[in-house]
Structure 1
Amino acid sequence: MLGVSELARGALEVDAGEFRRLVSRAVELLSSRSGGRSWRLRGRLVELSAVGEAVVVGDVHGKLEDLVHVLRDSRFLDKVKEGEDVYLVFLGDYGDRGVQGPEVYYVVLRLLLEFPDRVFLLRGNHEGPSDLMPYPHDLPFHLRMKFGE
């Protein structure tokens, strides 16, 4: 079972090839999802079961320490392990502003792939279309700093 410390360590140590594979697997999963054990997709709307707990996480903005704090305080991973009905709903704005955007994406995508029926990713204004670029938009810079060109 995945642990918060293991996730954070993996985020700090991931190389470019592993990160690319992680992103590819997440894109494949997201493009093929239609519903699960306790949720369903209606168009672009995700409907969760009214049973259980939803941990809602907004605007991490590249701050890995904040995300780790939320995961520890919510006990999300422990609750999943204990078989509780718990969901992790990210409201977007994963990168930009903070210096650990790539690391935040790593943790979020690992959680999505590990728990596809419990983790949901929404798009914030910092994941907008290319013709509506947010400010600041420094995630590309942080990706280059971590992984090179």
Structure 2
Amino acid sequence: MSAEIVQLVEQAGPYLTTAVSAYGAAVLTRAEGTAADATVALGQRILQAVWRRRDEAGQAELERVVDEAADEQDDTYTAAVLGRLLRHALQDDAELRAELAAMLPGQAAGSVIITASGERSIAAQHIGIAASGNNTTIHPPQQ
């Protein structure tokens, strides 16, 4: 999977989760002007862009998955389901990737994205001391 897709999914995730939490599967067909706030509206536009690219059977499947995600009370699960859905949609659709990139707010100049993945992973832009092992002892420097 390309870094571009991973970054787009990470950026879009909070918008998708908020929109689905607010409206469930109705977010796919609801008029955009009725969205409660900017976050919900952007999540709605992203999901509708994915929905429009599918045939009737694909739209029905997307509605089912979004509806199931909305019924979950666990935001982490909802975010994971929606992230997987979006990754699959972006995989072979460069046009959708471009559309999504244009929708999402750009990153501020000089901003840094740091990702840590896996057991005991540490991610930081600037760090002094980092320890991820068991029974670690850190001694202050001798003066």
TM over 0.5: no
TM-score normalized by structure 1?
Answer: 0.27
Higher strand share: 1
TM-score normalized by structure 2?
Answer: 0.28
Higher helix share: 2
